[in-house]
């Protein structure tokens, strides 16, 4: 069982030991639809054989002297009736395949999305967003195409291979040898074709993911691209990756062009015609039998021609399944710890000799470079009592934000312990822990939804009165009311239509609404003007009463009223105390004020 930060209870269990096992375990839930597909495919192929058989019988009736009109009439009626039934079977087969395909796509998308949300931040740090999105969208879509038309045509073509072998002996026993020989050689050449095709389709999927990553990166950083006038350079970079995708597709096309069964089909039809004519000349067959047998051999054209498309679609689907499963099975060190410690947080925070790397030390990297990468935090220890306000100060890159991310267990420590109310955060139920801790970061993220939904993100059941009260506390109600749609105003992606100060006040309102036991403000007033800061300051002071608060800030007005101040330098604690104590005893702390 893979670790996950949360689990979706009603998500079906799948076998993740390999892509084929994973697909089969997903398809097992739709057995009746697969049975409908298989029976429809067999019936379609069986009735397809009726066309050459009845056509041959019609020729025999016409060539009789006198013409057997009664037999000709019945043959015509049976031919029309069989094809009417065949059309119904084709419909049920195609409908069954399409339903299975859409359900597989839905289930795979649900499972992958749930797993991605359950992965730790170390996992998300390692994967480019564009590559992940390519797998979550395009690769998942390939699974549906693998079923319909892919597997649908493969099952159908398999029956078209089988039926001529079953029916040919009814015309003459020796006529079975050519269909048998063709089918054997076809399967051998197909196995070689699929073995050669698999790495080509995998390369196409991989190149597409890389191209999508480059595109996503450029779009997300469009302001930087335009601000630096680097449009041409980014276009050239994207074109290189697009060219790699094209080359991968061309390579796949060259493999598909060397499809030997096309040659085998021509040889089989020529040999079958010669064999049947030999039997006709010897008196063993009637002219209608020759026509019926040659018609049976033409049925092989369906599996041969659809194989060019169907098997490449199946191969592409298997490559996509492998890429999706790589994401699902990717290791993540965090676990929700269902059954762990739950309860109301009092707000006692203790760091005990904490050391943390954003990426775990790699022995191979150490060997190549001769040293270990510097940790973000080294042997950090401090204690904050319930209801106290802690200020974390230090230069950029000193580890202040990292401390915040360890408290609510966005990351796990490498060494030491982080304790909340005397309990290691790793022993808490993760959901119970995070629901009682709010972090407002400098780079506020707002969803492309209404202002109301953004404020109520942590409490979707909040009433309008509660939302407005939180907005007033964060000094956001006034500017929200100025929008034409008020709280129903839809903000752009990442809140692009709002100013930095407006985004941060909405984030403050979001935190106030959840009423957390621990409130972490990571430079959350950096984008607020001086006039608004006084109002925000009073709101923060009111919000911090009775709860533990951690301030990460460079504003001296906020640092002064903290109960405890921790000074960090290069990931290490260099001083701990109150403002007055540190001004007397800490050169590093005094230097911060001197620079300000």
* Closest to 4 in 3D by CA, of 526, 431, 378: 431
Torsion angle defined by CA atoms of residues 538, 541, 542 and 543, in that order, rounded to the nearest 10 degrees: 120
**Integer angstrom CA distances of residue 293 from 68, 76, 80, 123, 389:** 21, 18, 20, 61, 90
Give me the DSSP letters along 204-247.
Answer: HHHHHHHHHHHHHHHHHTHHHHHHTT-HHHHHHHHHHHHHHHHH
- Residue extents of the structural domains in the chain: 19-329
Encode pLDDT of 274-311 as tens digits. 999 999 999 898 888 999 999 999 999 988 888 878 88
CB 572, CB 397: distance < 8 Å? no
- Topology classification of domain 19-329: ABC transporter transmembrane region fold (1.20.1560)
Please report, in tens digits, the pLDDT of each residue of the chain (596 residues total): 566 666 666 677 888 889 999 999 999 989 999 998 999 999 998 999 989 888 888 888 888 777 778 888 888 898 899 889 999 998 989 999 999 999 999 999 998 988 888 887 778 877 788 888 888 888 999 999 999 898 999 998 889 999 999 999 999 999 999 999 999 999 998 888 888 888 888 888 889 888 888 888 888 777 778 777 888 888 898 899 999 999 998 998 888 888 888 888 889 999 999 999 999 999 898 888 999 999 999 999 988 888 878 888 898 899 899 999 988 888 777 777 888 899 899 999 999 999 998 875 554 444 444 555 678 999 999 999 999 999 999 888 888 889 988 998 888 899 999 999 999 999 999 888 988 998 887 777 888 889 999 999 888 899 999 999 989 888 889 899 998 889 999 887 666 678 777 888 888 888 888 888 999 888 766 556 666 666 666 667 766 777 899 988 877 777 888 889 999 988 999 999 988 888 888 888 888 776 65
Name the one residue in this structure whose structure tokens are 């608060």.
Answer: 549
Name the one residue in this structure whose structure tokens are 């015309």.
Answer: 171
* Closest to 302 in 3D by CA, of 41, 39, 88: 41
* Closest to 539 in 3D by CA, of 564, 555, 519: 519
CB 276, CB 294: distance < 8 Å? yes
CB 516, CB 438: distance < 8 Å? yes
Encode pLDDT of 208-262 as tens digits. 888 888 888 888 777 778 777 888 888 898 899 999 999 998 998 888 888 888 8
Side-chain half-sphere CA neighbours of 291 within 13 A: 16
Q: What angle, rounded to 10 degrees, do the helices at 69-118 and 19-27 form?
A: 110
Q: 548 - beta bridge partners?
A: 518
pTM comes to 0.76
> Using CA atoms, how far apart are residues 441 and 504, in angstroms rounded to an integer?
8
> Using CA atoms, how far apart are residues 48 and 303, in angstroms rounded to an integer?
13
């Amino acid at each position: 069982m893979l670790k996950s930060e949360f689990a979706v209870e009603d998500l079906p269990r799948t076998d993740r030991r390999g892509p084929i096992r994973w697909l089969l375990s997903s398809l097992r839930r739709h057995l009746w639809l697969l049975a409908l597909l298989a029976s429809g495919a067999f019936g379609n192929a069986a009735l397809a054989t009726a066309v050459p058989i009845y056509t041959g019988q019609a020729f025999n009736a016409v060539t009789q002297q006198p013409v057997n009109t009664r037999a000709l009439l019945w043959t015509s009626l049976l031919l029309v009736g069989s094809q009417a039934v065949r059309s119904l079977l084709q419909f049920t087969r195609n409908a069954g395949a399409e339903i299975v395909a859409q359900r597989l796509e839905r289930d795979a998308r649900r499972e992958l999305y749930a797993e991605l949300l359950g992965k730790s931040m170390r996992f998300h740090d390692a994967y480019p967003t564009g590559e992940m999105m390519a797998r979550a969208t395009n690769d998942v879509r390939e699974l549906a195409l693998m079923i319909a038309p892919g597997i649908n045509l493969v099952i159908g073509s398999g029956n078209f291979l089988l039926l001529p072998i079953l029916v040919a002996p009814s015309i003459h026993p020796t006529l079975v040898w050519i269909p048998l020989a063709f089918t054997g050689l076809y399967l051998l050449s197909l196995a070689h074709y699929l073995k050669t095709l698999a790495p080509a389709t995998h390369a196409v999927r991989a190149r597409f993911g890389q191209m999508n990553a480059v595109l996503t990166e450029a779009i997300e950083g469009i302001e930087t691209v335009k601000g630096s006038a680097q449009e041409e350079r980014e276009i050239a970079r994207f074109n290189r990756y697009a060219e790699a995708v094209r080359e991968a597709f061309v390579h796949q096309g060259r493999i598909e062009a060397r499809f030997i069964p096309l040659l085998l089909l021509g040889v089989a039809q020529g040999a079958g015609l010669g064999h049947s004519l030999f039997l006709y000349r010897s008196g063993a067959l009637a002219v209608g039998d020759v026509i019926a047998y040659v018609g049976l051999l033409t049925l092989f054209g369906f599996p041969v021609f659809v194989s060019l498309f169907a098997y490449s679609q199946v191969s592409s689907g298997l490559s996509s399944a492998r890429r999706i499963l790589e994401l699902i099975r990717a290791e993540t060190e965090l676990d929700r710890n269902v059954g762990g410690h739950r309860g109301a947080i009092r707000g006692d925070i203790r760091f005990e000799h904490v050391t943390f790397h954003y990426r775990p030390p790699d022995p191979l990297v150490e060997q190549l470079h001769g040293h270990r990468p510097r940790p973000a935090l080294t042997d950090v220890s401090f204690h904050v009592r319930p209801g106290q306000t802690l200020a974390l100060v230090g230069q950029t890159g000193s580890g202040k934000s990292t401390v915040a991310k360890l408290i609510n267990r966005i990351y796990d420590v490498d060494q030491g312990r982080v304790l909340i109310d005397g309990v290691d955060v790793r022993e808490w139920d993760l959901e119970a822990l995070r629901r009682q801790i709010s972090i407002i970061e400098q780079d506020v993220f707002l969803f492309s939804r209404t202002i109301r939904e953004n404020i109520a993100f942590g409490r979707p059941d909040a009433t309008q009165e509660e939302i407005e009260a939180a907005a007033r506390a964060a000094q956001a109600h006034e500017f929200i009311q100025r929008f034409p749609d008020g709280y129903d105003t839809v903000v752009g992606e990442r809140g692009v239509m709002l100013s930095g100060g407006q985004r941060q006040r909405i984030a403050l309102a979001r935190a106030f609404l959840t009423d957390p036991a621990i409130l972490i403000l990571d430079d959350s007033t950096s984008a607020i003007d001086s006039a608004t800061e006084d109002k925000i300051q009073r709101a923060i002071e009111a919000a911090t009463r009775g709860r533990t608060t951690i301030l990460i800030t460079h504003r001296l007005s906020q640092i002064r009223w903290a109960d405890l101040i921790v000074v960090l330098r290069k990931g290490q604690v260099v001083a701990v105390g109150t403002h007055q104590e540190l001004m007397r005893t800490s050169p590093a702390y005094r230097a911060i004020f001197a620079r300000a």
